Each structure stands twice: as structure tokens, then as C-alpha cells.
Amino acid sequence: MSENCIFCKIANGEVPSKTIYEDEDFRVILDIEPASKGHALILPKKHYTNIYELEEETASKVFVLTKKMAEKITKALKCDGFNILQNNGEVAGQSVFHFHIHLIPRYKDDEVGLNMESKESPNYDLEEVKEAIKNISIC
């Protein structure tokens, strides 16, 4: 646990939350400022600042749980679609620095603004970017 981390306190039950699921490793809560009805957050009980700090075992577990929670929420709320979102770093919109996954149910005509602006022609060389990334070994 990290001192003064609100999500550590919530995940470990020190601060109350609207919990919709809990197991040994995770707590899933409703977001207090939801983007849509049923917007929830998966919080690991252990403190990781962001995805880069996550252990592989936790990373595997969290995505399995993401799938299960999406199914559970969809069944309960009969939403029409689903966004999974996970922010790392202030520049990417992270505001709470304890790793979490956003589960965002979507409804027809809900006008939730998560759409990415795409650039028709990038101002950098795609081939160079492909090579730069491909050349970094990951295992």
C-alpha cells in the first residue's frame, strides 16, 4: 500500500466505495464521476502507479477480470456497447496515480466523448516508427 493513495485505501476497504466485485487481488467500484451509467473502475489491491509497474501475473489477471466485468455489467444494465480505457501519465489523462482500468458501458445516442481524433496523413514517417518499435525486444 502507498500512503496517501486514495485508491489504495478504497481497494483495501479503508475508505467506503460502491463495490460491485471483490476478490483477493482486486476491487471493482463505481466511478464517482461516471462518464456513463455503470462506469466502473478495476483497482488492484496492491499499489502500482501505472501499467509499466504492473507484474505480468497481475496484468494477465486484470484482463481476464476486465472481460468478465464487461459481461457482468452488460448483462445487468443491458448496454449496447463497451469501452475499456486505461490512462498512464498526466499527459494521457491519468489523474489518480494508482493503476486502474475504466469499464465504460455505452448506450445508443449517449454522446459520451471518447472518440479519438485521427490525422489523415501523419507528419512523421510510418516506416521509421514501425522500425523503431519493432526493434525493441519485449521478452
Task: Assess 32 for contact with ligand AMP (CB under 6 A).
Answer: yes
Match 445487468 to its residue by C-alpha cell. 76
Q: Which of residues 60-119 bind ligand AMP (CB under 6 A)?
A: 87, 93-96
The residue among 116, 47, 42, 94 whose CA lies nearest residue 73 is: 42
**Binds 58: which of Zn ion, ligand AMP, none (CB < 5-8 Å by kind):** none
Task: Assess 22 for contact with ligand AMP (CB under 6 A).
Answer: no
Task: Assess 4 for contact with ligand AMP (CB under 6 A).
Answer: no
Count of residues near Zn ion by CB under 5 A: 6
Question: Helix (H, G, I), strand (E, B), or coil: what is residue 7?
Answer: helix
The residue among 52, 56, 37, 43 whose CA lies nearest residue 102 is: 43
Would you call 111 exposed, middle or buried from its count of C-beta atoms within 10 A (0-12, 13-18, 19+)? exposed
Interface contacts to Zn ion, rule CB under 5 A? 2, 5, 7-8, 47, 98
Interface contacts to ligand AMP, rule CB under 6 A? 6, 17, 29, 31-33, 41, 87, 93-96
